Amino acid sequence: MQALVGCDFSSAPSKRKQIVLAWGSLEQGRVRLTALQGLASLDAFSACLHVPHSWVGGFDLPFGLPRELVQALGWPMLWEPCVRHYAALERRDIRDRFAAFCDARPVGGKFAHRATDVPAGSSPSMKWVNPPVAYMLHAGVPRLLDAGVYFPGLQPEPSTGAAQRKVALEAYPGLLAREVLRHRSYKSDDVAKQNADRLIARKDLVTALEMGQTRLQLRLKLSHAQREAVIEDASGDALDAVLCLVQVAWGWQQHCQGAPLYGLPQGMDPLEGWILTA
C-alpha cells in the first residue's frame, strides 16, 4: 500500500515549534492516519527525506515564486534553476530584494501573486512575514530537491519504475479547513488565544473530515488517541499536517484513476506551481 504523508512545515523549527508529519494511507475512500512525527530541526527534516522509502507527500509550503516577480528580478525562468538560484541567497538578501520590489509598486498591489493564490486563498509566496512563506520555500524546496524528490508539473517525469520514488505536491490546509469552518479560527501559536471557540472549531473540523463532509469525498480514520492528540494541539500543527494528508490522499486517488499530474491542472504554470485541490 502506498505510503502518504502530510507535512506542516516551519522554516525555523524548534523543540517547541516542530515540523509535523502525518503519515497514512488510502484504501476504499478512507484516509487512515498511521503516525504523527515531529521534527525539531531542518537537518532532521532532511534526514527524514533521505530515508530510502517510497511516499507521496503533501507539503504546506510554496513550491514556486510568482512569474511576474522572477521576471522583474531577472532570475532564471525555468523552475529548478530558479529554485537553485533562490536557495543560494541569504534570507536578508531575499527580504531586501522583495521589499524593494514591493516599494516600487502602488498601495494595494505591493505583492506579486501566483495564479494559484486566488482559487486557493493563499498568501503570496514572496511574503516574508506573517506568514514567512518565502522563507519556507527557501528552506524546504531545496531540501526536497536534494533528496531526489519528484515535483509533478514542475519537472520532467522520471523514468517509470524508478526505485523508491518520492513525490511532492504542494498542499494548503487552510483551503480544506475553510470549506468546513468558513471564517472560524481553529488554531493559534499565541497561548492567550488558544480558547474554547478554537477548540470547538478543531472538533468540528475533525468530525467533518471523519464523516467525509468535504468536496474531496474522503473519510478520515483516526484512533481515539490520535483524535484526542490532533484536537488537543491548540497550535493546529498536527491538524494542519492531517489536512495535508487528506489533500495528498485525494491527489493519489486521482493518480490511481489515471489523472495526469496527481490531479494538478495540466495548464498550470511550470514556474509557479499549483496548490493541490485548488
Model pLDDT for residues 75-90, shown as the tens digit of each residue = 999 999 999 999 999 9
Give residue-wise pLDDT tens across range 134-184. 999 999 999 999 999 999 999 998 876 554 589 999 999 999 999 999 999
**Would you state the cell numbers that stand for residue 24, as one nine-digit string?**
497514512
Residue type for position 249: A
CA-wise closest residue to 239 among 203, 276, 192: 203
**Buried/exposed 3-31: b ≥16 CB within 10 Å, e otherwise:** ebbbbbbbbebeeeebbbbbbbbbeeeeb
**Would you state the cell numbers that stand for residue 266, as one nine-digit string?**
495540466
Supply the pTM of this predicted model. Answer: 0.96
The whole-number average pLDDT for the span 2-9 is 98
Contact 20, 230 (CB under 8 A): no
Backbone angles phi, psi at 86, to 5 degrees: -65, -40
The Cα-based distances of 169 to 72, 77, 180 in angstroms read 26, 20, 22
What SS3 state is found at 149? coil
Give residue-wise pLDDT tens across range 174-232. 999 999 999 999 999 999 999 999 999 999 999 999 999 999 999 999 999 999 999 99
**Would you state the cell numbers that stand for residue 8, as one nine-digit string?**
506542516
Region of residue 27 (phi > 0: left; psi between -120 and 50: alpha; otherwise: beta): beta
**Would you state the cell numbers that stand for residue 37, as one nine-digit string?**
512525527
